[in-house]
A and B are shown apart, each in its own frame.
Chain A
Amino acid sequence: MTPDMLTIAHIFFLLLLGIGVLAYLLRRQLQARGLLALHLLSFLVSLLGLLILTPDRPLWIGGAIAAAMVGCFWLMARFENTDRG
């Protein structure tokens, strides 16, 4: 892993940590759909991180990550709206 990649990995880790801490601190203020929204964000950040930080991955993993991203867009359609049906 190059120094740049290592820095990016650290930033992604801090982002995920930040979202997790935010979700914990706001667990009483946010409704369930808000908390779910934060977790979906973590999922999307993780997928993007995987694509960026694993350049030499097997072909099928890239395809699987891209498919997961499309699945994430579908979940995002319920983003912050999960209690509206």
Chain B
Amino acid sequence: MTTTAARTAFVSPFWDFLAIGGISLLHYLLFRYFMPTVTAMDAGLENLLGVSISGAWVAAYLVWAVNHPHFSATSARLYRSRSLMMQFPVTALGIPVLVTVFALLAMAYPTIVAPWFTKLFMYWSSYHFSAQTLGVSVLYARRNGLTLTPLARRALAIFIFSTYLAPTLRAESYAEPSNYYGIILPLLGLPPFLWDVFQWILALSAVASVLLIARCAKTTHQRVSVLIFVPAVTQFVWFIPGGAIEGFREFVPAYHSLQYLFIAWIMQLREKQVERNLAPSRRYVRLETLRWLAVNVAGGVFLFYLLPTGAQQLGFAAEPFQTWGIVIAAVQIHHFFVDGVIWKLKNPAVGQPLMTDLDELQGAPR
């Protein structure tokens, strides 16, 4: 007999838990209670691997294996066919032009345009994290057989988006501006009491989310899988208690990317299988996974190495280091636009393939 968690998971409750945020929760707990300094993490890695490796080194290399491929996966998904591009012509064709114009302006005016272009990227980045967190939570609720009422969904959304707004607003009340690739970011100078307000909103929406989701489960006579709550709890840990922990916060983008790649991987396997009418098999899953990963790693190198390197040759007023940061921001802004369009669970072309699981893709007996 399959459990609720097993039916809800794409691979298995354990692997799903790790991929959609569990691994970051374990990392956080390790740092919070057992290894509270970066030096201790570096020593821990040395003990584990027998060679001297720093956490910063691991984070720096992880971006090429996880972060950058996740951006590439989005572009590959939109630009893989002309018909798909023509479904979203403004996003597919107009946005790259607009983002390029903004990036060129930022490179030409590094003290006037670049700070606000970067600020746009910063604001949108955490918002984008929140939208994905909500989407993954709703996806798991759907796989769990739960239909969230609009009120339950709203309470969950308020909780998730508050974990983004609270630290963002708090950062805007600091006295010292922050620095991104040598670009000094302006501050809005908001009053510090907003942080207190959002702490209350966070607490109330957390309680409301749990109660309302439990009521949905009672109405539909479903047992609630813990996987539904993992993305929201994880994002809370990323941005609120974990946001100040050095040696943890550097890894948060990688954990967000891992969550994305996990869902996108299943989507890729299912869509290709249906499009080409391929028989389910372990061999198909293995080969397609390897091919898809290789394409996305190569795409990441193009987006985050070749593009910035090429932009540095244009000779604009921005310093080479600033140019690098501007191009990286531009690539990510493009990703935020595209992601908001291509992942709509209400669209059957997106929601339907995401009701499959690895066993079905491999043709494994149930």
Contact = CB atoms under 8 A, between A and B. Distances in A.
B119 A38 contact: no
B206 interface: no
Interface stretch (B17-25, B65-73, B89-97, B255-263): B89-97
B48 to A, nearest CB: 40
A24 interface: no
Contacts of B292: none
Contacts, number: 76
Given A80-B91, A84-B344, A51 B119 contact: yes
A8 to B, nearest CB: 6
Contacts of A4: 109, 112
Given A48-B116, A84-B347, A77 B190 contact: no
A62 B241 CA distance: 28
Nearest to B102: A48
Interface size class of A (residues with CB under 8 A): 20 to 34
B188 A37 contact: no
Nearest to B97: A18
Interface in B74-122: 88-91, 94-95, 98, 101-102, 105, 109, 112-113, 116-117, 119-120
Contacts of B128: 73
B195 interface: no
A15 interface: yes
A79 B116 CA distance: 22
A84 to B, nearest CB: 5
B127 A79 contact: no
B311 to A, nearest CB: 18
Interface size class of B (residues with CB under 8 A): 20 to 34
B94 A41 contact: yes
B116 A30 contact: no
A34 B340 contact: no
Given A48-B117, A77-B131, A84-B346, A38 B112 contact: no
A62 to B, nearest CB: 5
A11 B105 contact: yes
Given A4-B109, A4-B112, A62-B188, A80 B117 contact: no
Nearest to A35: B90
B265 interface: no
Contacts of B124: 73
A52 B123 contact: no
B105 A8 contact: yes
A85 B90 contact: no
Given A41-B98, A52-B113, A73-B124, A81 B90 contact: no
Contacts of B123: 66, 69-70, 73
B203 interface: no
A41 to B, nearest CB: 7
A63 B340 contact: no
Nearest to B120: A48
B346 A85 contact: yes
A38 B188 CA distance: 28
Interface string B169-204: 000100000000000000011100000000000000
B344 to A, nearest CB: 5
A63 B90 contact: no
Interface string B289-315: 000000000000000000000000000
Contact of A8 (B113, B127, B340): B113
B284 interface: no
A15 B346 CA distance: 33
Interface of B: 88-91, 94-95, 98, 101-102, 105, 109, 112-113, 116-117, 119-120, 123-124, 127-128, 131, 165, 172, 188-190, 336-337, 340-341, 344, 346-347
Given A66-B123, A76-B337, 12 more contacts: A11-B101, A15-B98, A22-B94, A41-B90, A51-B116, A52-B116, A77-B131, A79-B90, A79-B91, A80-B341, A81-B341, A85-B346
> Can you list the 5 inter-chain pairs with the closest CB atoms, starting with the nearest?
A37-B90, A62-B188, A80-B88, A51-B116, A73-B127
21 contacts: A8-B112, A37-B94, A45-B98, A48-B117, A48-B120, A51-B116, A52-B116, A59-B189, A59-B190, A62-B189, A63-B188, A66-B123, A69-B120, A70-B127, A76-B336, A76-B340, A77-B131, A80-B90, A84-B344, A84-B347, A85-B346
